[in-house]
Chains A and B, each alone.
Chain A
Amino acid sequence: MQINLFRETWTLLKKEAVLEWRTKNSIQAILIYALSTVFVCYWALHTTEPPVWNALFWVIMVFSSINAAAKSFMQENQARQLYLFTMASPQAMFISKLIFSSVIMVVLTLCSIFLYSLLLGFPVIYPDKYLLCLVMGALNLSAIFTLLSAIASRAGNNMTLLSILGLPLVLPVIFILIRFSASTLMGAVLMSGSRDLIALAMLYIIIVGTSLLVFPYIWRD
Chain B
Amino acid sequence: MIYKNWWKWTGFILVMYTVIAGLAIPLGPGIASITPASTRAGDTVRIQIHTVNAHFLKHPAGLQAGLLGTSIAIKPFQIRSLANNQLEAAFVIPSALIRSRGTVNLLDLEVGSDYDGMLIYRQSLEVLPDTVFLNGHKSSAIISQAKLEVHKVTPAWFNFPYRTIVYESIRNLYFHVCMWFAMITLFFVSVVYSVRYLKNGSPKDDRIAAESINVGVFFGILGLITGTIWAKFTWGDWWPNDAKLNGTLISMLLYLAYIILRNSLEEEQRRARISAVYNIFAFPMMFVLIIVLPRLTDSLHPGNGGNPGFSSYDLDSHMRFVFYPACIGWILIAVWLVTLRLRMRTIEYKIEDEI
A-side interface residues toward B, CB under 8 Å? 147, 151, 154-156, 158, 161, 164-165, 167-169, 171-172, 175, 195, 206-207, 210, 214, 217-218, 220-221
Contact = CB atoms under 8 A, between A and B. Distances in A.
B265 A155 contact: yes
Contacts of A169: 254, 281-282, 285
Contact of A172 (B250, B264, B265): B250
Contacts of B260: 161, 164
B293 interface: yes
B253 interface: yes
B204 to A, nearest CB: 18
Contacts of A195: 296
Given A164-B260, A217-B276, 19 more contacts: A155-B261, A156-B264, A161-B261, A161-B264, A164-B261, A165-B257, A168-B253, A169-B254, A169-B281, A171-B253, A172-B250, A172-B293, A206-B284, A207-B281, A210-B280, A210-B284, A217-B273, A218-B277, A221-B270
A206 B292 CA distance: 15
A195 B270 CA distance: 39
Contacts of B270: 154, 221
B65 interface: no
A156 B277 CA distance: 17
A174 to B, nearest CB: 10
Given A154-B270, A158-B264, A214 B257 contact: no
Nearest to A216: B198
Contacts of A167: 253
B261 A171 contact: no
B293 A214 contact: no
A154 B284 CA distance: 23
B277 A168 contact: no
B257 A168 contact: yes
Interface string B257-292: 100110011000010011011101110110011000
Contacts of B296: 195
Nearest to A161: B264
Q: Interface of chain B, helix or strand or loop or mixed?
A: helix
Contacts of B280: 210, 214
B261 A165 contact: yes
B250 A171 contact: yes
The 6 A-B pairs at the shortest CB distance, nearest first, are namely: A168-B253, A168-B254, A214-B277, A164-B257, A165-B257, A171-B250
B273 A218 contact: yes
Contacts of A207: 281
Interface of B: 198, 247, 250-251, 253-254, 257, 260-261, 264-265, 270, 273-274, 276-278, 280-282, 284-285, 288-289, 293, 296
A161 B254 CA distance: 12
Contact of A154 (B251, B274, B276, B288): B274
Nearest to B271: A155
B268 to A, nearest CB: 13
Contact of A217 (B198, B265, B289): B198
B284 to A, nearest CB: 7
Contacts of B198: 214, 217
B274 A218 contact: yes
Contacts of B282: 169
A169 B279 CA distance: 11
A218 B270 CA distance: 8
19 contacts: A151-B261, A151-B277, A155-B261, A155-B264, A161-B261, A164-B260, A165-B261, A165-B278, A168-B254, A168-B285, A169-B282, A171-B289, A172-B250, A195-B296, A214-B198, A214-B277, A217-B198, A217-B277, A218-B273
Of the candidates A155, A167, A206, A220, the one having the most CB atoms from chain B within 10 angstroms of its own CB is A155
A169 B253 CA distance: 9
B257 A151 contact: no
Contacts of B251: 168
A209 to B, nearest CB: 11
